[in-house]
Amino acid sequence: MPNFIPVLPEIFLLSMTCLILVADLYLGKDRKGIVYLLTQVTLVVTAIIVWAVKSTEKEVVMWGQFVNDPMSTLLNVFICLCAAIVFIYSKDYLEDREMNKGEYYVLGLFAILGMMVMVSAHTMLSVYMGLELLSLSMYAMVAFNRDNAASSEAAVKYFVLGAIASSMLLYGMSLIYGVTGSLNLAEIAQALTQPQELPTILSLGVVFIVVGIAFKLGAVPFHMWVPDVYQGAPTAVTLFIGSVPKIAAFALVMRLLVDGMSALATDWQPMLMLLVVASVAIGNVVAIAQTNIKRMLAYSTISHIGFLLLGVIAANEAGYSASMFYTIVYTLMTMGVFGLLLILSRKGFEAENINDLKGLNDRNPWYALLMLILMFSMAGVPPTVGFYAKFAVLQAVINEGFVWLAIVAVLFSVIGAFYYLRIIKMMYFDAPEDTSEISVKLDTHVVFSLNGLVILMLGLFPEKLIIWCQNSIGIG
């Protein structure tokens, strides 16, 4: 019998998701708040179980399909807690638009289950299963507002391009399996370190896997779906897609490229370099021309994906921990920015244009200050944590001799600072176009305030999170 203890978080999450799905069928419209409460309890308890069953060493169970290690513990805890914050931000937005249906939370929980499976995957098969569970849930979430043509169009684009990405990833996995004879990541890594000459088809498999990963990450030139999905999806769904899955995307890179194919680093490093240069260049330059803030944040995401991959290019533990730190910080920043957009939106009005932030300081100085902190952090301005995140990944690639890559990233990051500073200028120096009172419930107000302050506090005291990331990779 396999040891089911390390898999308890996933078992509990799946059981509760099925329970919530059934309970939602029997609850009236006036009792949908119970589904929300059950969802939040599920996420908090899942995070507690993850922490309770954590292992200081790599523990492989379920016939080699599942691994419980410090990295999976850290990432799964953050996935659960960040998802809980996302649902707090989303609740009022969905209620105002009569979209507060159980399907949103059930799909979200299934997506989170897919993320946790990806994070703890130890074979290419379990990686792919987690990825598909996450992807299928997100396709449905994008089309959640069925009466909106833009949402339906975005969902179709996302589905078609996602299917192409999945097929490429699956084909790459099949080529790796054909050469190594195994889907187990540890066995693949062992086979690739043997002294015999590796066949050329193996490099082709790496190419397809990197292309599939780039599609899922939204890196240039495989970024076509990102702006359309960000703009077309309901803002609550865009918040979910733009934040928590990035943690799982980092795990996807780590499991496939690092755990399974670190011996082929000389093959995938040049490809990642091209993705980084293209992403930070196109993402930052095109974002300047955007007037829709969700579309601007989509191109901002593309540029941040470039920075996320910088640490992986270093191909050492210091680089991997820097990328993990960057991923967590980026998720927190994105949640805060989209959280403000949800706060500013109300029934009959969507805060989607950059002009909607004009004069925010006159309407609510506290929210303007928090947004200023978030924008400075995204731009990489000290003393916010965004500066330390960028510094960490840049230091990792410089230490490996890729100075030119760091210079390119810094140059385009300076260019990208323009569109973040433009928002700050609008908030503080332009007259508001909308003078209505900002109405927000206490829980959302408290969470957004803490979100912004955490970004500042992590910037002043980043050591704890940095050390946690380093220990989870194996440096400490």
Confidence (pLDDT) at 475: 53
Query: Residue 66: which H helix or E strand, with range?
Result: strand 66-68
What is the three-state SS of 216-275?
HHCCCCCCCHHHHHHHHCCHHHHHHHHCCHHHHHHHHHHHHHHHHCHHHHHHHHHHHHHH
Confidence (pLDDT) at 151: 86
Residues linked to residue 466 through DSSP beta bridges, in sequence order: none
Cα Rg, the chain, nearest whole Å: 21
Confidence (pLDDT) at 64: 83
Decide if 67 contacts 58 (C-beta within 8 A).
yes
pLDDT by residue, tens only, the chain of 476 residues: 567 888 999 999 999 999 999 988 887 776 778 888 999 999 999 999 999 998 888 888 888 889 988 999 999 999 999 999 999 999 888 888 777 788 889 999 999 999 999 999 999 999 999 999 999 999 999 988 877 888 888 889 899 988 999 999 999 999 999 888 888 888 888 888 876 667 778 888 899 999 999 998 888 888 888 899 998 888 899 999 999 999 999 999 999 998 888 888 888 899 999 999 999 999 999 999 888 899 999 999 999 999 999 989 988 888 999 999 999 999 999 999 999 999 888 877 778 888 888 888 888 899 999 999 999 999 888 888 989 999 999 999 999 888 999 999 999 999 888 989 999 999 898 888 777 778 888 888 999 999 999 999 998 898 888 999 888 887 54
Confidence (pLDDT) at 61: 85
Using CA atoms, how far apart are residues 128 and 205, in angstroms rounded to an integer? 15
Confidence (pLDDT) at 476: 43
454's tokens: 């955490």
DSSP string, 424-472: HHHHHHSPPS--S-----HHHHHHHHHHHHHHHHHHHS-HHHHHHHHHH
pTM given for the model: 0.92
Give per-residue pLDDT as tens, 406-416: 999 999 999 88
Length of the chain: 476
Task: Count H helices and E strands in the chain, helices first.
Answer: 20, 2
Using CA atoms, how far apart are residues 457 and 402, in angstroms rounded to an integer? 31
Using CA atoms, how far apart are residues 407 and 377, in angstroms rounded to an integer? 20
